[in-house]
Chains A and B, each alone.
Chain A
Amino acid sequence: MSGELSGILDHVERMNELDLDGVQPTSHVVELENVLRADEPRPSWPRDEVLEPAPDAAEGAFQVPSPQA
């Protein structure tokens, strides 16, 4: 795996050939306006449905092993 990752990084480092001084970074290509919705209360997902796919749930919550076990 480390040999593969080095090979990929070598390829990626070809970017260093480019002069990018003063070029602005792009994180998002489409110009967007902030989208706001009305701040009104509405029902959220039923707890049982959200817990249904969990590997382990108890007392209406996700259950996980103790960090100190």
Chain B
Amino acid sequence: MSAELLELTVGEALRRIDGGELSADEYADAYAEAAAEDELNAYLWTRESPFAREGDGTGRTEEPPLRGAPVAVKDLFCAEGIETTAGSRILEGYRPPYTATAVRRLEEAGARLLGKTNMDEFGMGSSTENSGYGPALNPWDRTRVPGGSSGGSAAAVRDRTAPWAIGTDTGGSIRQPAALCGVVGLKPTYGAISRYGMIAFASSLDQCGPLTRDVTDAALLLRAMEGRDGCDSTSVGIAGGIELPTREGLEGLRFGVPRELSAEAEGMEAGVAATFERALSTIRDLGGEVDECALPHSAHGLSAYYVLAPAEASANLARYDGVRYGLRADGEVELGAMYERTRSRGFGAEVKRRIMLGTYALSSGYYEAYYGRAQRVRTRIAADFASAFERFDYLLTPTSPTVAFELGARSDNPLAMYMADYCTVPMSLAGIPAISIPCGLAEPDGGGPELPVGLQIAAPAFTESGLLDAAYAVERALGLTATPPGAGP
């Protein structure tokens, strides 16, 4: 019973709850139990099982529209009174006095917080190995990474220890782990969802979004979270709200395939390229128009990103000084030494690396050569997308150049780790929405088990309803049913 329950999409579970066939409490408790038994280190904190009872006990009175459905939340989101670490030792034990707007909106829509998921420290990483609390593992192969930085959220959704989850994406941190774990991950347009209470990494790029079983569930979560918020002056919401996807066919849709982010992308594995090509054929067979296009500056996306994101991070992370919250490395020292000891002990290697890169890129004499130049590349990348969208409704790329790699394979080579976001960073720089949906399985280069491949679909800013509709039609066309070895009912 419980195993079958855990296979339902949330959309289907809500239908059954509304129809009286399923108790909301039974549904939520099945997940509280599953999350407590998580074997992938996907969670840093889970709700005690069972959930506290609300309503009259029939389980049908939970607040609509989400009816008490549990949701896993990346540990980057503040939740009042619940430990929130952003995957960092420097925030160990921190209990925020307030709840992030995205989480509060989900609760107001009737969702219940199931747990806080593991992540790369402050969102900096593509494997969850930069977590201060040990890496999360890939549900398809526990010797491999789930991707990152929202790796715990992606792993929990695929491992059926969460029905759905939210994460954050700065350069690919929702889409890449979704691809590596075989789930759906959506990065909405910058400004669609409030960043209030989302611990800051790179403020001009950070955006919250859903990780789910299917496209309809992603639409349900986005619909509940999007909107303007007085606590985040950069939040604007999505005009007209979000329509749930219904599109059946692909006729009349024009898909562009940017060669720089597909066939010509650096480090693209043969298996990923072949799976992507098969997905394109399917889309063509079902009436979609597919044509090659160019995003000439996108090959420089990673370069610009690794100036802009560390620069913003170096300013944002200055707040961790051992004074107001989190760790203080004490001792008989003066103030300056206290700051130094606290940061040396509290931050991991990747965070230190990025703070140094960022302060260097912003320093007098280098500012124009690095930061100024990167901002101009960003302008060019956004212009490339704008001109591609004059010819095409959507752009298609593989989400990541590789399938899930082995734990430790890239830990000693930061640049190799950064390449995991080669295909996702350009959309982040342009601020546009993009979704990753599972499109098949492929062997890694050099052989090994078949692992999930993600198809990324990008759209113009604030056209999420259309993007979800197209993704829904593609999802149905691809009709994937593969499950991890040993999983499933």
Contact = CB atoms under 8 A, between A and B. Distances in A.
Our verdict on whether A and B bind, yes or no, reads yes
Interface of A: 1, 4-5, 7-9, 11-18, 20, 23-30, 32, 34-35, 37, 45, 49-50, 52-56, 62, 64-69
Chain A: interface secondary structure? loop
Contacts of B332: 69
Nearest to A68: B334
B431 A30 contact: yes
B415 A15 contact: no
Contact of A65 (B230, B302, B333, B380): B333
B189 A30 contact: yes
A1 to B, nearest CB: 7
B375 A66 contact: no
Interface residues of B, number: 57
Given A53-B325, A67-B336, A69-B334, A15 B380 contact: no
26 contacts: A1-B352, A1-B356, A5-B356, A12-B306, A20-B380, A23-B376, A24-B376, A25-B372, A25-B376, A25-B379, A28-B234, A29-B378, A30-B190, A30-B234, A32-B233, A35-B230, A35-B233, A45-B97, A55-B322, A55-B325, A56-B328, A64-B338, A65-B333, A65-B334, A66-B334, A68-B334
A21 B108 CA distance: 49
Nearest to B203: A28
Which one of A34, A56, A65 has the greatest number of beta carbons of chain B within 10 Å?
Answer: A65
Chain B: interface secondary structure? helix
Contacts of A54: 323-325
Given A11-B306, A62-B324, 14 more contacts: A4-B414, A8-B353, A8-B415, A9-B357, A11-B415, A12-B374, A15-B303, A25-B376, A26-B379, A29-B431, A53-B96, A53-B325, A64-B323, A67-B334
A49 B373 CA distance: 43
B65 to A, nearest CB: 28
Contacts of A69: 332-335
B204 interface: yes
B430 interface: yes
B230 A37 contact: yes
Interface of B: 94-97, 189-191, 204, 230, 233-234, 236, 297, 300, 302-304, 306-307, 322-328, 330, 332-336, 338, 349, 352-353, 356-357, 360, 370, 372-380, 382, 414-415, 418, 429-431, 461
A23 B380 contact: yes
A2 B159 CA distance: 39
A13 to B, nearest CB: 8
Which one of A8, A29, A68 has the greatest number of beta carbons of chain B within 10 Å?
Answer: A29
Given A49-B97, A53-B97, A14 B324 contact: no
B323 A55 contact: yes
Contacts of B376: 20, 23-26
Contacts of B379: 23-26
A57 B370 CA distance: 40
Contacts of A32: 191, 233-234, 236
A60 B175 CA distance: 44
Given A26-B382, A29-B204, A53-B325, A65 B372 contact: no
Contacts of B302: 11
Contacts of A27: 204, 375
B300 A15 contact: yes
Contacts of B323: 54-55, 62, 64
Given A11-B303, A15-B374, A67-B336, A52 B233 contact: no
Contacts of A49: 97
Contacts of B96: 53
Given A64-B338, A68-B334, A8 B204 contact: no
Given A29-B204, A29-B382, A53-B97, A15 B353 contact: no
B325 to A, nearest CB: 4
A20 B377 contact: yes
Contacts of B377: 15, 18, 20
Contacts of B357: 5, 8-9
Nearest to A45: B97
